Amino acid sequence: MARITKTPEERRLEIVQTAERLFREVGFTKCSVDMIIRDIGVSKGTFYYYFKSKEEILEAIVDRTLVQIVEMAEQVADAPSLDALTKMQMLLSDSHIGDDDTHDIAEMLHMPENRELHEITNIQSVMRLSPILAKIVEQGNLEGVFSAGQPLETVQFLLTGSQFLLDGRLFAFSEQEVHDRRVVAQQIIEKSLGAKPGSFDFMNPNPMEGK
Amino acid sequence: MARITKTPEERRLEIVQTAERLFREVGFTKCSVDMIIRDIGVSKGTFYYYFKSKEEILEAIVDRTLVQIVEMAEQVADAPSLDALTKMQMLLSDSHIGDDDTHDIAEMLHMPENRELHEITNIQSVMRLSPILAKIVEQGNLEGVFSAGQPLETVQFLLTGSQFLLDGRLFAFSEQEVHDRRVVAQQIIEKSLGAKPGSFDFMNPNPMEGK
Amino acid sequence: MARITKTPEERRLEIVQTAERLFREVGFTKCSVDMIIRDIGVSKGTFYYYFKSKEEILEAIVDRTLVQIVEMAEQVADAPSLDALTKMQMLLSDSHIGDDDTHDIAEMLHMPENRELHEITNIQSVMRLSPILAKIVEQGNLEGVFSAGQPLETVQFLLTGSQFLLDGRLFAFSEQEVHDRRVVAQQIIEKSLGAKPGSFDFMNPNPMEGK
Amino acid sequence: MARITKTPEERRLEIVQTAERLFREVGFTKCSVDMIIRDIGVSKGTFYYYFKSKEEILEAIVDRTLVQIVEMAEQVADAPSLDALTKMQMLLSDSHIGDDDTHDIAEMLHMPENRELHEITNIQSVMRLSPILAKIVEQGNLEGVFSAGQPLETVQFLLTGSQFLLDGRLFAFSEQEVHDRRVVAQQIIEKSLGAKPGSFDFMNPNPMEGK
DNA sequence: GATGAATGAGAATTCATTCAT
DNA sequence: TATGAATGAATTCTCATTCAT
């Protein structure tokens, strides 16, 4: 095979991205190192030059994903011009996702063939997002729009429920079924946070309406 | 090895039970067919005479587990002498353990080394338990102890949140942390079902009290 | 590959013998499991069905060799009709080796490419032969032909010297050089055991004489 | 990494010394080129600029070691003021340690993880030391303290026995066992060289005495 | 002289599955 | 029904060596 040298950053990224895609497509266990290197057109030695085990690249991918999610969440949480209700809405709904990259992340978290990556990331994202959301709940408590004790624990329950249930793929729900659960989730969130009924209404425009 | 003939039913059950135990102890992927047959003292050929693949026995186990869970839940749900609140408490708390075989729902679903089996069963159990719980919610609505719209969807959200979050192992929570989340979960359930605050109080005796 | 079934004993022996030959020819480290199975025409699974690691087959070979050596030595040592001097002569010289099998063992112990197997076996054979030879020394002391204190330690030193030095291959000695060292070794043995000078003379017929 | 230029001699020596240390610590086979260069902080390319294979550096080390041993032995052998007995004692005992670099012959040859390097060096050192020791034996014969025919062959046998047996590690002997064999070795040496019994007595102060 | 990214042929081992008896 | 020897593709990982810069 021709020797193609790239900068370490390029090569590393190339490997991470390819692995990420393949892990999503076929699952971590079923995706062999061989598949990854064949896809890139690079030698086995090169793979192990950058990552010293298959586990290590998994960690790299999970970290990378979580860093993106957390960064995004922190931007929202730290925005001084937004009120707590708006922030909460932005972070709990999917409708705020603009760019493709962030959307991919959400996609990635819920792939069917992707149990391992999925579960690890899921749990981590609950753990890392919850403190950020808890701060927003506290802000909301002060602003008078929420009235919730135990913000961290509350938010963790709501996040967990949302993450797992609202993923159409995981539970094999139809679009309409997902929508129905989204509406209910919103009501539960409102009740749990002590928000005024209907505060999160616009989070769930009926996707069937225009059809 | 001596050839020991058993009735097909006995043999089949023996294999399923052993596999189930081992899958829970070491996980599905890490448990080889060899481990199973060595444990029983049966030959490779026998295993493949009863199940044509390792996947097939997994399905058999998941089915078996869910049948048990659902049966137990239906017994509770159909008990004419119990009110909705009591039924709900029995099925959502840990205190309902009856016979050794069924154990506790939560326990059953959240074994440590047991991600694979666990996740498959988890989702299925949310799907199959939710109609039963939804019926109880409807009963509760009639009895006036609950006041919840969309019982099925509501119950699915609450089950999902409870299942995943309240497993200390999955999120690596300490006993105290699990307890704190249990208390919060109970409050969210009350609010979501429109139950009187404190209805489920006895579900969470503080495990730290005597210490 | 055609499936050829043999009795476990046949198959096991086939593998051990092939491995033994190849370890001798190319050395333990350089001989891959692939080489062995290719040579036999058997699958990798079969190899690992009989031996659970490459190390394990090495042990099996070493054990097998040592058992043969020790058996032979014990037969000599326990012969009631022989005096100590004769026994000593038989076990310390190479000239007693009759059958091809035992000769192979000696060959095997000193192959050039065969460091690992060689060293392990060498040391083991000093350790296992020395108690047998020590008993003969004691017999000799009683018979008045020897007069040696510390029989075990003495014998170990003499065995070690003989094993390593008198192997023409290890030190790359010519036939004549080996003969010269054999003569000297014999004198050292005589002095060390307190035997009469010349007692072991016939051990070393000059190999150059008839040429 | 910063490019640090050294004189070729310095660089070469640095590599040889590091490799030597690591080969001793972990063994030749188990010590990868990567370990060596990482330890020095030099690049792969640099290593292969100075040595064209891993084997080549092994040879360099063995040569270097033997040169040191031989030099030291020759210094002793050529000392005009010393008698043969003293010289012999110095070279066969452990008590002659002078400078840090040369250490003790025995020590040097019998490092623990060091089978490969060890065996290669062992045989070479018997071959190269024996002529020097043989000369001392001849001097001793003239001085009347020894009375040994075939000095070269005799010395080779004694060196071989001592080298291999008296290494506690190789045979896994305890300290006491090594001591016992040392005492016996000394007696065998005396007898073989025709020295007066007890000539080498002080070679083996009982290490247990003070305990 | 020096760098270090890249190579790729192997290494040992695992394991679900098959099949002759 | 039952056995267990046999299969072989697949897996992760190692490491001496090369070579463009």
Nucleotides of F under 7 A from a protein CB: 1-21
* Alpha-helix residue ranges (DSSP H) falling in B144-199: 151-165, 175-193
Residue closest to F2 C1′ by Cα: B46
Partner C contacted by D97 (CB < 8 A):
no
Residues of A in contact with B156 (CB under 8 A): 165, 181
C183 CA: distance to closest CA in chain D (Å): 9
B59 CA – F5 C1', rounded, Å = 29
Task: Kindly report which amino acid residue has its CA closest to the C1' atom of nucleotide F11.
Answer: A32
Q: Which residue is nearest to nucleotide E21 (CA to C1')?
A: C5
Asked if the Cβ–Cβ distance from A150 to B191 is below 8 Å, we say no
d(CA A23, CA A97): 23
Summarize pLDDT for D170-210 with one digit per residue, the tens. Answer: 677 888 898 899 889 989 999 999 999 888 775 555 544 44
The owner of tokens 């030695």 is A45
C110 Cβ contact partners less than 8 Å away, ≥ 6 residues apart: C118, C167, C169, C170
Return the closest nucleotide (C1') to the Cα of B37: F4
Contact status of B141 with chain A (Cβ, < 8 Å): no
Q: Which nucleotide is nearest to C12 (CA to C1')?
A: F5
Which residues of chain C make contact with D161, given a CB cutoff of 8 A?
157-158, 160-161
Higher pLDDT, B39 or A55: B39
Chains contacting D (3 or more CB pairs within 8 Å): C
**Chain D hits for C184, Cβ within 8 Å:** 150, 153-154, 157
User: Averaged over C19-24, what is the pLDDT?
Assistant: 88
Contact status, residue A21 vs residue A36, Cβ threshold 8 Å: no
- Cβ neighbours of B169 (radius 10 Å): 14
**Structure tokens of D107?**
């020590």
Q: What's the pLDDT score for residue C210?
A: 44
Interface check B155 vs A, CB under 8 A: no
Q: Is the minimum distance from the CB of A45 to strand E below 7 Å?
A: yes
Q: Is the CB of A9 under 7 A from strand E?
A: no
Token pair in block for residue A131: 């403190």
- D41 vs B206: which has the higher pLDDT: D41
pLDDT reading at B99 higher than 90 = no
What's the rounded Cα separation, in Å, for the pair A20 and A26?
Answer: 10
B154/A184 Cβ within 8 A: yes
> Does A123 contact chain B (CB < 8 Å)?
yes
pLDDT at B193 (0 to 100): 95
pLDDT at C110 over 50: no
**Structural contact between residues A40 and A31, judged by C-beta atoms closer than 8 angstroms:** no
What secondary structure letter does DSSP report for D201? G
Burial tier of C104 (Cβ tally within 10 Å: 0-12, 13-18, 19+): middle
Closest chain C residue to D172, measured at CA: C123
Q: Measure, in angstroms, how far nucleotide E9 C1' is from residue D62 CA.
A: 29
Residue environment code for B61-72, b if the CB has 16+ CB neighbours within 10 A, otherwise e = bbeebbebbbeb
- B186: tokens are 């109970």
- Share the mean pLDDT of chain B: 80
Which chain A residues are within 8 Å of B116, Cβ to Cβ? Answer: 115
In Å, what is the separation between the CA of A34 and the C1' of F5? 31
Cβ-nearest to B164 among A160, A188, A192: A160
Nearest to A155 by CA among A167, A173, A137, A169: A137
**Contacts with C31 from chain D: Cβ below 8 Å:** none
What digits encode the pLDDT tens for the residues B40-89? Answer: 999 999 999 999 998 889 888 888 888 888 998 999 999 999 889 888 87
The CA angle C69-C70-C71, to the nearest 5 degrees, is 95
Q: What angle do CA C52, C54, C59 make, to 5 degrees?
A: 90
Work out the pLDDT band at B155, boundaries 50, 70, 90. very high
Give the closest nucleotide to A45 (alpha carbon vs C1'): E7
Is pTM beyond 0.95? Reply is: no
A 182-201 → B contacts, CB under 8 A: 183-185, 187-188, 191-192
Half-sphere exposure of C83 (CA within 13 A, CB side): 9
Q: Is A25 helix (H, G, I), strand (E, B) or coil?
A: helix
**Chain B: residue whose CA lies nearest to A128:** B171
Decide if pLDDT at C207 tops 60: no
CB of D42 lies under 7 Å from some atom of strand E: yes
Query: Quick one: DSSP state of residue D99?
Result: S
pLDDT at A131: 96
User: Is pLDDT larger for residue C208 or for residue C82?
Assistant: C82
Give residue numbers, 20 to 59 of D, with CB < 7 Å from strand F.
30, 32-34, 44-45, 47-48, 52-55
Residues in chain D: 211
Query: Does the pLDDT value for residue C167 go beyond 80?
Result: no
Mean predicted confidence (pLDDT) in B7-30: 86
Inter-chain touch B157–A160, beta carbons under 8 Å: no
The whole-angstrom distance between residue A3's C-alpha and the CA centroid of its chain comes to 37
DSSP D108: H
Q: How far apart are CA A35 and CA C4, in angstroms?
A: 34
Nearest CA to CA, how far is B103 from chain A (Å)?
Answer: 24
CB contact under 8 A, B184 and A150: yes
Nearest CB among C29, C115, C164 relative to D164 is that of C164
Residue with tokens 């640090």: D4
Contacts of A28 (CB under 8 A, 6+ apart): A58, A114, A115, A116, A117
Is C77's pLDDT higher than 80? yes
- Residue A203 DSSP label: G
A13 touches chain B (CB under 8 A): no
Of D108, D89, D84, which is closest to residue D204 (Cα–Cα)?
Answer: D89
Q: DSSP per residue over B44-102, as a string? A: HHHHHHH-SSHHHHHHHHHHHHHHHHHHHHHHHHH-TTS-HHHHHHHHHSSTT--STTT
Give D-chain residues touching C185 at CB under 8 angstroms.
Answer: 157
Which pLDDT belongs to residue C26? 81
> CB neighbours of C39 closer than 8 A, spacing ≥ 6?
C18, C22
Longest alpha-carbon distance in chain D: 65
If you write DSSP's letter for every residue of chain C in order, what string do you get? -------HHHHHHHHHHHHHHHHHHH-TTT--HHHHHHHHT--HHHHHHH-SSHHHHHHHHHHHHHHHHHHHHHHHHH-TTS-HHHHHHHHHSSTT--SHHHHHHHHHHT-TT-HHHHHHHHHHHHHHHHHHHHHHHHHHHHHTS---SSHHHHHHHHHHHHHHHT-HHHHT--HHHHHHHHHHHHHHHHHHHTPPTTTTGGG---TTTT-
* CB spacing of C171 vs D127 below 8 angstroms: yes
Interface test with D, best of C113, C164, C169, C170 (most D CBs within 10 A): C164
What are the per-10-residue average pLDDT scores of chain A (211 residues)? 85 93 82 92 94 89 86 91 86 47 39 57 86 95 94 95 75 86 92 90 54 43
Axis-axis angle for helices C151-165, D175-193 (nearest 10): 70
Residues near D28 by Cβ (< 8 Å), separated by ≥ 6?
Answer: D58, D116, D117
All residue ranges of chain D with pLDDT < 70 are 1-5, 93-119, 167-170, 202-211
- Quickly count: other Cβ atoms within 10 Å of residue A53's Cβ: 10
Alpha helices in chain A (DSSP H): 8-26, 33-40, 44-50, 54-78, 84-92, 100-109, 115-143, 151-165, 168-171, 175-193
Cα dihedral across residues A60, A63, A65, A71: positive or negative: negative
pLDDT of residue A157: 94
Question: Does residue D93 contact residue D155 with C-beta atoms inside 8 Å?
Answer: no
On chain B, the residues whose CB falls within 8 A of the CB of A30 are none
Q: Give one DSSP letter per residue of B17-46, joined into a string.
A: HHHHHHHHHH-TTT--HHHHHHHHT--HHH
> Are there at least 3 beta-carbon pairs closer than 8 Å between A and B?
yes
Q: Does B126 sit within 8 Å of A188, measured CB to CB? A: no
Bigger pLDDT: B1 vs B111: B1
With CA atoms as reference, the chain D residue closest to C156 would be D165
Per the CB < 8 A criterion, the answer to whether B137 and B151 are in contact is yes
Assess whether B82 (CB) lies less than 7 A from strand E: no
Measured in angstroms, the CA of D173 and the nearest CA of chain C are apart by 11
Q: Give chain E positions with protein CB within 7 A.
A: 1-21
Among all strands, which nt has the closest C1' to C44 (CA)?
F8
Min Cα separation B10/chain A (Å): 33
Q: What is the pLDDT of residues B131-154, one digit of tens each?
A: 999 999 999 999 999 999 999 999
Residue D32 dihedral angles phi and psi, to the nearest 5°: -85, 160
Strand nucleotide closest to residue D47 (CA to C1'): E2
Statement: the CB of C30 is under 7 Å from strand F = no
